[in-house]
Structure 1
Amino acid sequence: MLEPRINETNDRTSVELFAGGGGLAWGVHSAGFRPLLVNELVKHACATLTANKAELRGDQERLPEPGDKWPLVPGDVSEVEFHYLWDRVHLLAGGPPCQPFSLGGVARGDEDKRNMFPQMFRAIREIQPKVVMCENVQGLLRPSFRPYFEYIERELGLPFEERDAGATWQEHDKILQERLSAESPDPKKRYQVITTRVNAADYGVPQIRNRIIIVAFRSDLGVDVEKFKKSIAPTHSEGALIRSIKDGSYWKRHDKARKKAKLPPIPAAVKALVESRLPKQEPFDDGKVPWLTLRDALLYEYDKGEYQENPLPPVSWEHLDRIDREPNGIRYHVGWPAARIYPGHTPNELDKPAKTVKAGVHGVPGGESVLLTDDQFAETIDDEQAVFRHRYMTVRETARVMTFPDEWKLAGPRGEQMRQLGNAVPVKLAEFFATAVAAALDDADKRR
Structure 2
Amino acid sequence: MVITPPPPLPGEQSTGIGTSIELFSGGGGLALAMHNVGFRHLLAVELDKRACATLRANRAIDYTPDAADPVYLDDRWPLIEGDVAKVDFTRWEDKVDAVAGGVPCQPWSLGGVGKGYDDPRNMWPELFRCVRDTRPKVIIAENVKGLLRPSFRPYYDYILRELAAPFEQRVDGEDWRDHDKRLTKTLATGKYDPTERYDVKYLCVNAADYGVPQIRHRVFVVAFRKDLSIDWDFPAPTHSAEALANAQADGSYWAEHNLPAPAATMPPLLPVPQNTQRWRTLRDAIASLPDPLGDKVEHPDWLHHYGWPGAREYPGHTANLLDRPAKTVKAGVHGVPGGETVLRDDVGSIRYMTVREVARVMTFPDNWKLDGPRGEQMRQLGNAVPVELATVIARSVREALK
Q: Tell me which interval the TM-score lies in, with the shorter structure as reference length.
A: over 0.9
Give the aligned residue type for 2:195: K
Could you report, residue by residue, the CA deviation over 1:313-334 in whole angstroms, capped at 9, with x for unpaired residues?
A: 1124xx2x2122x24x111110
Q: Within 1, Cα distance between the matches of 2:363 and 2:187?
A: 39
Residue 427 (structure 1) aligns with: 387
Residue 347 (structure 1) aligns with: 319
Give the aligned residue type for 1:343: P
1:53-72 → structure 2 map (5 Å cutoff): 53-60=59-66, 62-66=68-72, 67-72=74-79
1:10-409 → structure 2 map (5 Å cutoff): 11-60=17-66, 62-66=68-72, 67-225=74-232, 228-229=233-234, 232-255=235-258, 266=259, 268=260, 271-272=261-262, 280-286=267-273, 287-299=275-287, 311-316=288-293, 319=294, 321-324=295-298, 326-327=299-300, 329-361=301-333, 363-367=336-340, 369-374=341-346, 376=347, 388-409=348-369
* Counterpart contact for 2:282–2:325, Cα < 8 Å: yes
Q: Within 2, Cα distance between the matches of 1:61 and 1:185?
A: 37
Q: Within 2, Cα distance between the matches of 1:116 and 1:429?
A: 22
* Counterpart contact for 1:363–1:422, Cα < 8 Å: no
SS of the residue corresponding to residue 312 of structure 2 reads coil
Could you report, residue by residue, the CA deviation over 1:9-43 in whole angstroms, capped at 9, with x for unpaired residues?
A: 65311110000000000011111111000010000
* Counterpart contact for 1:91–1:131, Cα < 8 Å: yes
How many aligned residue pairs are there?
A: 388
* Counterpart contact for 2:249–2:269, Cα < 8 Å: no
Could you report, residue by residue, the CA deviation over 1:369-401 in whole angstroms, capped at 9, with x for unpaired residues?
A: 101011x2xxxxxxxxxxx00100000000000
SS of the residue corresponding to residue 345 of structure 2 reads strand
* Counterpart contact for 2:244–2:278, Cα < 8 Å: yes
TM-score (ref. length: structure 2): 0.93
Q: Within 2, Cα distance between the matches of 1:400 and 1:89?
A: 31
Following superposition, the deviation at residue 282 of structure 1 comes to 3.0
SS of the residue corresponding to residue 216 of structure 1 reads strand
Residue 436 (structure 1) aligns with: 396
Q: Within 2, Cα distance between the matches of 1:186 and 1:252?
A: 59
Q: Within 2, Cα distance between the matches of 1:36 and 1:323?
A: 39
* Counterpart contact for 1:205–1:402, Cα < 8 Å: yes
Following superposition, the deviation at residue 61 of structure 1 comes to 6.0
Could you report, residue by residue, the CA deviation over 1:274-317 in whole angstroms, capped at 9, with x for unpaired residues?
A: x66x7x35321221100000001013xxxxxxxxxxx101124x
Following superposition, the deviation at residue 366 of structure 1 comes to 4.2
SS of the residue corresponding to residue 128 of structure 2 reads helix
Distance 1:37 1:363, change over 3 A: farther
Following superposition, the deviation at residue 197 of structure 1 comes to 1.1
SS of the residue corresponding to residue 150 of structure 1 reads helix
Following superposition, the deviation at residue 96 of structure 1 comes to 1.0
Q: Within 2, Cα distance between the matches of 1:35 and 1:389?
A: 44
Any unmatched runs of 5+ in structure 2? 1-6, 9-13
Could you report, residue by residue, the CA deviation over 1:65-111 in whole angstroms, capped at 9, with x for unpaired residues?
A: 11320000110000111001111111100011111011100001100
Dislocated runs of 4+, deviation >4 Å: 6-10
SS of the residue corresponding to residue 162 of structure 1 reads coil
Following superposition, the deviation at residue 58 of structure 1 comes to 2.6
Q: Within 1, Cα distance between the matches of 2:296 and 2:206?
A: 33
Give the aligned residue type for 1:64: P
- Computed over aligned residues only, the root mean square deviation of the Cα atoms, in angstroms, reads 1.6
Distance 1:37 1:9, change over 3 A: closer
Give the aligned residue type for 2:281: T
Following superposition, the deviation at residue 222 of structure 1 comes to 1.1
Q: Kindly, what percent of the aligned residue pairs are identical?
A: 54
Q: Within 1, Cα distance between the matches of 2:311 and 2:135?
A: 49
Give the aligned residue type for 1:293: T
* Counterpart contact for 1:184–1:190, Cα < 8 Å: no
* Counterpart contact for 1:349–1:372, Cα < 8 Å: yes
Q: Within 1, Cα distance between the matches of 2:374 and 2:16?
A: 39
Any unmatched runs of 5+ in structure 1? 1-5, 256-265, 300-310, 377-387, 443-448
TM-score (ref. length: structure 1): 0.84
Q: Within 2, Cα distance between the matches of 1:341 and 1:363?
A: 14
Q: Within 2, Cα distance between the matches of 1:294 and 1:406?
A: 16
SS of the residue corresponding to residue 272 of structure 1 reads coil
Give the aligned residue type for 1:289: Q
Give the aligned residue type for 1:252: A
Q: Within 1, Cα distance between the matches of 2:146 and 2:121?
A: 15
Following superposition, the deviation at residue 62 of structure 1 comes to 3.6
Give the aligned residue type for 1:194: K
Structure 1 or 2: more helix by fraction: 1
Q: Within 1, Cα distance between the matches of 2:339 and 2:55?
A: 27
